[in-house]
Amino acid sequence: MNSDPLFNQQAPITRRQFLKAALVGFGGTLVASYPVFIERYWVTVNHYRVALPGLPPAFHGLRIVHLSDIHAGPWSPDGWLQGLMRTVMDLRADLIACTGDYVREKNGTTQIERIWPLLAGLQAPLGVYSVLGNHDHWADRERSLHWLEQSGQNLRHKAVRLEREGQPLWLVGAGDLWEDDLGLEAALANIPPDEARVVLAHNPDSYDADFSGRVDLMLCGHTHGGQVRLPLIGAPMVPVSNKTYVSGLLHLSRGAMFISRGIGWSGLPVRFNCSPEIAVLELVLKNNE
């Protein structure tokens, strides 16, 4: 064994090596922080055209802003939430549809009292219509129901007839699949069979529930689009039974379903390759798709 102290002495790091190591470290930090500090706040506005069977000609071109899964919580700054509402209003849609999970808290009302005054301020020519999600029940069911009613947006277990030029389009609201009665059997029962209807339901698995009424278009959230989408793999975790219900516009046996990627997050506060979205859906006649 060589006892010469120079034998174990390391050569000094060069400036080039230092800069390379620093760059690698910075890059690693940036990659690690991107899903936490950048993408999950980077809300995109995405436009979709939806050909709706039986859509009355007077409603051709109807624009719906679909807002879902805000998950207001400690990591949702007030200014960011206010900016979100301004973006929704600036889109000047004909109506606004909100499909639940407005808060992220358990057994408390702090976030409910933060977000609902903002939601209650939304306006659209044909109205703002909302249902609740599982997180709204987990936070405080009674306070969530209070604000739903107080805001004038309550579509839960209801069917509302919209009219243009004497032609009807129905909006129908479901209760949350996990924490409420779905209520679609009764809500759909009195709609004339030949009249078009759009259903608001938080959880996409609601589509497969046991009810007999027709659904032309169901608007859902809940999945966050998977929240994290890995290259070549997709979303490894989606909180639904039917794993094909991830995001986007799906054409199914009962009709169409649109699943929003939503705004917020659950579990870890990250989004990767799956930015939050505000969806703008334009309803068009079937032969104008």
Report the predicted TM-score, pTM, of the whole model to 2 decimal places.
0.87
In this predicted model, what pLDDT tens digit does every residue of 200-243 receive, in sequence order? 999 999 999 999 999 999 999 999 999 998 988 888 889 999 99
**Of 162 and 39, more confident:** 162
- For the residues 120-125, what does the mean pLDDT come to? 98
Question: Using CB atoms within 10 A of its CB, is residue 76 exposed (0-12), middle (13-18) or buried (19+)?
Answer: buried
* CA dihedral (198, 199, 204, 205) positive or negative: negative
User: How far is residue 257's CA from residue 248's CA, in Å, rounded to a whole number?
Assistant: 8
Q: Where are the domains of the chain?
A: 43-288
User: Residue 29's pLDDT is what?
Assistant: 37
User: Residue 34's pLDDT is what?
Assistant: 61
Q: What is the largest CA-CA distance in the chain?
A: 99
Q: Which fold has domain 43-288?
A: Purple Acid Phosphatase; chain A, domain 2 (3.60.21)
User: Residue 289's pLDDT is what?
Assistant: 52
Q: Residue 256 pLDDT more than 60?
A: yes
Per-residue confidence band for 247, with pLDDT thresholds at 50, 70 and 90:
very high
